[in-house]
Structure 1
Amino acid sequence: MLPIHTVLEPLKAALSAGNTAVLAAPPGAGKTTVVPLALLDQPWLQGKVLVLEPRRLAARAAADRMATTLGEQPGETVGYRTRLQTRIGPNTRIEVITEGVFTRMILDDPGLEGVGAVLFDEFHERSLDADLGLALARDTQGLLREDLRLLVMSATLDVVGVSRLLDGAPVIEAEGRAWPVETRYLGRNPSERFEEAVARACLTALGDETGSVLVFLPGQGEIHRVARLVNERLRLPNVDVVPLYGGLDRGEQDRAIEPAAPGRRKLVLATSVAETSLTIEGVRVVIDGGLSRVPRFEPSSGLTRLATVKVSRSSAEQRRGRAGRTEPGVCYRLWDEEQTRGLVPHQRPEIQEADLTGLALDLARWGARSVEGLALLNPPPAGALAEARKVLTRLGALDADGGLSKHGLRLTKIPLSPRLAHMVAVASDAGDAMTGGRIAAVLSEPGLGGSSVDLADRLIGLERDRTQRARDSIKLAERWARAAGGGSGRTIDPGLLLAEAFPERIAKARGKAGEYLLASGRGAVLEATDHLAREPWVAIAELGGGDTRDRVRLAAALEADRIESDLARLISTEDRLAREPSGRSVIRRSRRIGAIVLDEKVVGAPDAETLTAALRAEIEADGLGALKWGEQASGLRARLAFLNARDPAWPDVSDNALLAARQDWLWPLLDGAKSLDRIADGRLAEALRGLIPWDLQRRLDELAPPRLVTPLGSAAIDYAAEGGPRVDIRVQELFGVTTHPTVGGVPLTLALLSPARRPVQVTKDLPRFWSGSWAAVRAEMRGRYPRHPWPENPAEAQATNRAKPRGT
């Protein structure tokens, strides 16, 4: 009996008494395949049970296992539905579906007609689709379907937080695991290559233990490198080395999951697809490399990058649990035991890391203008969501008020990310919907069509591919094309379609062969030997790499004349004021796509009106940094910032505030100006002074004087200094001062200097310094500067900036 069986009755009781529950059960407890079947006989169940899984492989495997338990085939009582495959029959009562499929399902039918219960399995993974799916299901439950049951299941989860999200849903916990697992820490030499360390651990495990071995690696590349190393060194003839990752054909995935042939063992090299809801027959040993690959979206660049990070503690526990599914097991970890405490408890939820354009479009279709009121464990970052809405507006999916446009509604009918859905819709309108659909398939399925950087080669590779995965992908592309409205009989350039989906990734060649400038302003590079590197223009689909320059992974050639004819709406015209070597001001007109300049020419000398407009445009484009801030203007601005921080009656002189008020103080300065850098510092300071209310003008010097009066004269006050207003002054010039100086009621920071103007002491309490640490400073200064006076009691001494006369 599995651990889950001990809590089935309390779980049934909870779902009979209420419509929500949370189930926490350790890896191997059997929750994925036992609970759905156990709910079929419940009197409250009117309709199907939907079981949500984070991955296609897990969905198919769970459905296969439940069907086998019933002595049936998938598609009878138990079926599954993923993006590529569906096995559902007229008598199906349990549907195992991926989380993305559920999001589409509930958006199409908010009432979830014919569904009695939704089970969110492995919710701890916190995918964006799972978070959104649960939020929408709670909306449905509250507004339309009080009878709908929602069950959140996980092995490692903040059950208290989820219970609170579900208004105090009861928590049922299954204790213990099916079989014990011993953990062995191998450590890892940081100078040794990761793949070498993993390969060595594989050979150790195969030699020391019986049964098959499951190895967790971050990605496909590491899998193939470890496989090569192991195959070169393996001396056991009865071991099959098999890969397991999402991009494999179904037959190859089945080979990894199914039991080893009699008398043989398997070494399964897998990505995180094997972490959850998956039992690989015969595995009793797990090797955890301690790394995972997760997507990280950068709103500034519009790119989603795959980052290799340390595994979280919850994922490490999930991986360990794979060893105890069918018998006692062993888990090898490639780190030291004490390092486990340094692992993050959970990976950050995808909603805080991902591209949110899909979420924003789904919310618009749901009728939600914001995430307020939705049952989300973590809200999306406001900046990333705002950027996502900007992208949707540029695609024409949202109207000026942020609501769903007619084109946006059309995109929601195409089950793709908004950018790719837009691309297929454009292809459909151009009479070549299938090309759009096939490009979307290549971009959605890693490795489909081969590994060439050239999209044209990938499309040819897809056409020639006879694997089940390729055939399923082509059928899917056909469905997308139909959903977009069809359209055939013409041929559209793949480069143009990529430019429609990713206009910021239109790129122009520059410098050496293979180097490109993107419309976003970033740099990208192609291998100089790649035939695409000879193209003057490309449209880029996939990038990866560094901080300022990325490597092109997938792109298509783009004809320059097609940019002018088919992408004219992306071209903007900009007039800028420029100064020629002779000093003459001229207007340069440039046509550009983002950061890429198509052409530029001088269109003449500016008249006064044009010149002023050009200066204003410079400010709009470059901000206040385009002005030449001198000592007077900078000093006044710092003084006003100091006063505003203490009393909002004083003007706000932050960049945002000054730009917001530019028409009041800055625009009048530009009338008659020849260039921004010729506006005198004094005039700039006077314009700022004009922002001060008349009743505060006379108090400016009183509350924030520009200089500190000292016994020997005065010293400049730096109001922009870190830590508050500051004066740098020789300590001897303050002899005789017994009260610490203040400005606006705030003690000045006094940076006291030696006669050579080297730092001596920093203080905000001069009298205390005189009576305290001055003695130690005096002793040191007397030795270094014997010709200068160093009195025992500086508070009673006379200020000076001179040395003692010779002979004294």
Structure 2
Amino acid sequence: MTRLPIEDVLPALRDTLASGVNALLTASPGAGKTTGVPPSLLAAPWLTGKKLLLMEPRRLAARAAAHRMALSLGQAVGHTIGYRTRLDTKVGPMTRIEVVTEGIVSRLLLQDPSLADYGIVIFDEFHERSLQADAGLALCLEAQRLFRPDLRLLVMSATLECGPISELLGNAPVLVCESRLFPVDTRYLDLPLTGRLETTVVQTIRRSLSQDRGSLLVFLPGMAEIRRVERLLQDSHLDASIRITPLHGDLPQAAQDEAIAPSEPGTRKVVLATSIAETSLTIDGVRVVIDAGLSRVPRFDPRTGLTGLDTVRVTQDSADQRRGRAGRLEPGVCYRLWSEREQGTLAARRPPEVLDADLAPLILELAEWGVNDASELRWLTDPPRAAVAQARDLLMRLEALNTAGSITTHGRNMAGLAMHPRLAHMLIKADPLGLSDLACDIAALLGERDIVRAPAGRRQADLRLRLDILWGHDRSIGETTVDQAACRRVRHTADLYRRRYPKTTMRPHGTPRDPGSAGLLLALAYPDRIAQRQPHEGEARYLLANGRGALFPNPDPLASDLYLVVAGLDAGTQWARIDLAAPVTQSGIEMLFAGRIEEMEDVDWDERTGSVRAVRRRRFGALALSEHALSNPNPSLIARALSVGLRRAGLSTLAWTPELRQWQARVRFLKAVDGPDSHWPNLSDDALLKTMDEWLEPFLAGITTLERVKRMDLAPVLQARLSRDQQQQLDRRAPTHLMVPSGSRLRVDYDQPEGPVLAVRLQEMFGCTDTPKVADGKIPVLLHLLSPAKRPVQVTKDLAGFWANTYRDVRKDLRGRYPKHHWPDNPLIAAPTAKAKPRGQ
């Protein structure tokens, strides 16, 4: 039998775990760590009387690893080697190694925080940084600290930055195993991929089948692409010796086992797989990998509370993992469907799932464990605060947590069902309604792959359609076809939920099934996604209780319902796309959430009518269930709403007069003279707009429309901003008029950027050498000296300098244009006059 590379480091690993409790093992793909390490530790003295727990990221990998280890011992699974997954368990009283999926570790810790039956927990493929792996490690470290200082923790990975994880494990030793991979010839596209992915994939498969030997492993982003490639290959009439085998997590176990089993003599396989085949699996006979370079990952948006699947480029570490599949057993070939230049632009590794995941299940698990604050634990990557807050808010809506963040009795019952908190809450609350049997079917439909397929733009979002299909009432509706494998899986999961929740109220035998209450049950699971149709031409748009908008992008029969509950949303755009929903009635909403419906008086601005609208509303979240006009609304609320309308319309809407603008400018002038900290109020337009509630609202009593405000006398409103003393100072220091030597009383213009301006005919200033001043004689005005026709001939703040330096040139020009007027040689001794000539001349 071929010696595996992992065997070279097993003695050192056993010594490390004998002398310490934590270790980190990094081994290249194909080293044999998954199936080689656990059996090698069974004889360790510290494991006497205890079991080994091996955590795998996927169900398929967990079952495959258990089968391989059991085969190496010549035993059946369930004897020394067993496994536990969410839907399947094979362990017995003699089991020493339990291979489990990641969520099982958290459940075991909740049942027994000390993990008394286990001597070591091994985290395999930790580089994938799944949320459950991160949480499991954080809880195991806490169990180690509080209860079990002898509990061993071993982290294994193929591609991982060792420093941070070693430090988290208390500076644990790092063991490195270099696998002896066979050489893999890596081939890139000459140019970036254009056109349909599936077409290029099929062309590459056919070329490889004609040029290369051995079976092919093809990495595709998801099940939809797998189905399309499979159909194209079937239509291309491949040789009868070529077997096409899909491989993804939703396949029945028999189909998964067939995909990873060795090919029969004389045949070759083309395995069409998702990223499930990246790690932990060895598919016998594969020496060619075709990598589409994409993967589909869940992304959670804390703003919306929605999780969607994003198709993203693979990272460099994932691409290396995939490439390594081709060189495990002999030299191989890897076709990468991107250019070599694009390879350098790939991210080094995938981000931890904790940064993008829905944290509600995690926060509930932690609360059940007694941890109300996630930051109390030691994490390799801290959960984002926004996502934690979003999760806590949802769990409080679902009555799982109290306001202090502690778990409630209802929350413990939810956690005991080992399902998403939304579904657990729905199932428990359905019991007193006599709908728990229906709730099990709905929970299974929501948790598994959609059982219907339809062409783009023809897919119906109605959950009741799926229930009818599940119950055998309809096999096809319109262009909808049924995924029978998905149906079988949903029925299996629903039956599992019925067994898991013994209180399920079973439908009496022979009673016809009715999906009519589906919306009511969905409302229990998704109270934040109860939606109300909004008036909108064209598209059917809905407002969700959480304030988010959603729509049907294509015609859908559900679009005629006033209220929906939306279970499936694509949150990728400003208006989320409704993918799965069911109708609910307003009476149903009021029955379920009577304690959460608020009655309030809403007084707000109606932009359409330009007036204040005052109504009494009954609200559920962002939804207005009903409203009635208020006969006697609060006057202060009316004034506040009117201020909102005025801010939108702008300050120019008010009844400004030239005199009032001058008054405003005089106040602003004195504030500028005395400094920003002076006692003068800030009466700039920007400041007035921001402080409208202070100076205008008290004068808006009885006014409800913008038209009435436009007719209101604004002068007393603004002048009330000044005290009596300030008004007297204003009249004295910034007078509206100044007396000039001719005896004329002329207006001063303060609303100019250069300061106060006095426009005066030049002849009225004869005999005067001092420029007029304001602000207690501190600030000279800017003189606009005018011709007899009142056109400026000079602008100055230095009247004496004008007479001495400029007047002679100006006089010469004016004498030619205005010969009937008096233009003395010496203006300083001439009499000022507002007439053409002084009297007596």
* Class of the TM-score when normalised by the shorter of the 2 chains: 0.7 to 0.9
CA distance in 2, matches of 1:549, 1:578: 25
Closer, same or farther: CA 687–251 of 1 in aligned 2, 3 Å: farther
The offset of 1:523, in angstroms, is: 3.7
The offset of 1:461, in angstroms, is: 3.8
The residue number in structure 2 matching 1:459 is 467
Which of 359, 364, 374 is 1:371 aligned to?
374
Larger Rg: 2
Contact persistence 1:449–1:462 (CA under 8 A):
no
Q: Which segment is superposed worse, 282-291 or 402-411?
A: 402-411
CA distance in 1, matches of 2:61, 2:577: 32
The residue number in structure 2 matching 1:539 is 565
Closer, same or farther: CA 95–463 of 1 in aligned 2, 3 Å: farther
Contact persistence 1:203–1:234 (CA under 8 A):
no
Contact persistence 1:48–1:115 (CA under 8 A):
yes
Which of 96, 119, 122 is 2:122 aligned to?
119
Counterpart AA for 2:521: L
The 5-angstrom pairing of residues 150-169 of structure 1 reads 150-169=153-172
Which of 542, 552, 564 is 2:590 aligned to?
564
The residue number in structure 2 matching 1:134 is 137
The residue number in structure 2 matching 1:344 is 347
Contact persistence 2:568–2:581 (CA under 8 A):
yes
The residue number in structure 2 matching 1:386 is 389
Closer, same or farther: CA 617–257 of 1 in aligned 2, 3 Å: farther
The 5-angstrom pairing of residues 571-610 of structure 1 reads 571-578=597-604, 585-606=612-633, 610=634
CA distance in 1, matches of 2:471, 2:299: 32
The residue number in structure 2 matching 1:8 is 10
The residue number in structure 2 matching 1:22 is 24
Counterpart AA for 2:250: G
Q: Secondary structure at the match of 1:612?
A: helix
The residue number in structure 2 matching 1:518 is 544
Contact persistence 2:445–2:490 (CA under 8 A):
no
Which of 214, 218, 222 is 2:217 aligned to?
214
Q: Which segment is superposed worse, 572-581 or 18-27?
A: 572-581
Which of 36, 40, 43 is 2:42 aligned to?
40
The residue number in structure 1 matching 2:800 is none
The residue number in structure 1 matching 2:764 is none
CA RMSD of aligned residues (A): 3.8
Closer, same or farther: CA 245–441 of 1 in aligned 2, 3 Å: same
The residue number in structure 2 matching 1:733 is none
Contact persistence 2:612–2:642 (CA under 8 A):
no
Which of 358, 361, 368 is 1:358 aligned to?
361
CA distance in 2, matches of 1:119, 1:249: 27
Contact persistence 2:612–2:641 (CA under 8 A):
no
CA distance in 2, matches of 1:272, 1:185: 20
Contact persistence 2:529–2:546 (CA under 8 A):
yes
For normalisation by structure 2, the TM-score amounts to: 0.73
The 5-angstrom pairing of residues 630-645 of structure 1 reads none
Q: Which segment is superposed worse, 14-23 or 440-449?
A: 440-449
The offset of 1:712, in angstroms, is: 9.4
What does the per-residue CA deviation read over 1:238-262, in whole Å, with 9 as the maximum and x for residues that have no partner? 1112211112222222221112222
CA distance in 1, matches of 2:651, 2:265: 81
The offset of 1:513, in angstroms, is: 7.0
The residue number in structure 1 matching 2:496 is 476
How many residues end up aligned between the 2 structures? 670
**Which runs of 5 or more structure 2 residues have no equivalent in the other structure?**
455-459, 473-483, 509-513, 653-660, 678-689, 724-749, 757-804, 806-811, 814-841
CA distance in 2, matches of 1:519, 1:539: 10
For normalisation by structure 1, the TM-score amounts to: 0.75
CA distance in 2, matches of 1:543, 1:9: 52
Contact persistence 2:616–2:628 (CA under 8 A):
yes
Contact persistence 2:54–2:98 (CA under 8 A):
yes
Closer, same or farther: CA 48–592 of 1 in aligned 2, 3 Å: same
The offset of 1:152, in angstroms, is: 0.3
The offset of 1:270, in angstroms, is: 0.8
Q: Secondary structure at the match of 1:553?
A: strand
Q: Secondary structure at the match of 2:344?
A: helix
The residue number in structure 2 matching 1:310 is 313
CA distance in 2, matches of 1:623, 1:80: 66
The offset of 1:73, in angstroms, is: 1.5
Q: Which segment is superposed worse, 176-185 or 275-284?
A: 176-185
The residue number in structure 2 matching 1:548 is 574
What does the per-residue CA deviation read over 1:155-212, in whole Å, with 9 as the maximum and x for residues that have no partner? 0011111101101000000013343322111245443222222121111211111111
Contact persistence 1:437–1:481 (CA under 8 A):
no
The residue number in structure 2 matching 1:503 is 527
Q: Secondary structure at the match of 2:528?
A: helix
The offset of 1:666, in angstroms, is: 6.2
The residue number in structure 2 matching 1:702 is none
The offset of 1:383, in angstroms, is: 1.4
Counterpart AA for 2:635: L
CA distance in 1, matches of 2:560, 2:753: 72
The 5-angstrom pairing of residues 783-794 of structure 1 reads none
Counterpart AA for 1:3: P
Counterpart AA for 1:497: L
Closer, same or farther: CA 366–617 of 1 in aligned 2, 3 Å: farther
CA distance in 1, matches of 2:645, 2:176: 57
Closer, same or farther: CA 126–627 of 1 in aligned 2, 3 Å: farther
CA distance in 2, matches of 1:252, 1:2: 28
**Which runs of 5 or more structure 1 residues have no equivalent in the other structure?**
648-661, 691-708, 716-797, 799-804
Contact persistence 2:444–2:490 (CA under 8 A):
no
Contact persistence 1:666–1:687 (CA under 8 A):
no
Contact persistence 1:669–1:687 (CA under 8 A):
no
Counterpart AA for 1:352: L
The residue number in structure 2 matching 1:413 is 416
What does the per-residue CA deviation read over 1:275-310, in whole Å, with 9 as the maximum and x for residues that have no partner? 111111211111111111111111111110111111
What does the per-residue CA deviation read over 1:593-646, in whole Å, with 9 as the maximum and x for residues that have no partner? 33433333312242xxx1324666999xx999889689999x99xx9xxx99xx
The offset of 1:543, in angstroms, is: 1.4
Closer, same or farther: CA 396–208 of 1 in aligned 2, 3 Å: same
Q: Percent identity?
A: 45
The residue number in structure 2 matching 1:225 is 228
Q: Secondary structure at the match of 1:428?
A: helix
Q: Secondary structure at the match of 2:501?
A: helix
CA distance in 2, matches of 1:682, 1:384: 52
Contact persistence 2:695–2:721 (CA under 8 A):
no
The offset of 1:3, in angstroms, is: 1.0
Counterpart AA for 1:63: A
Are 2:447 and 1:444 equivalent residues in the alignment?
yes
Which of 283, 286, 300 is 2:289 aligned to?
286
CA distance in 2, matches of 1:246, 1:594: 38
Q: Secondary structure at the match of 1:49?
A: strand
Contact persistence 2:605–2:645 (CA under 8 A):
no
CA distance in 1, matches of 2:33, 2:720: 71
CA distance in 2, matches of 1:382, 1:682: 51
Closer, same or farther: CA 189–405 of 1 in aligned 2, 3 Å: same
The residue number in structure 2 matching 1:746 is none
Counterpart AA for 2:30: G
Q: Secondary structure at the match of 1:44?
A: helix
Counterpart AA for 2:64: A
Contact persistence 1:303–1:543 (CA under 8 A):
yes
CA distance in 2, matches of 1:131, 1:682: 67
CA distance in 2, matches of 1:103, 1:623: 54
The offset of 1:508, in angstroms, is: 3.2
Q: Secondary structure at the match of 1:604?
A: coil
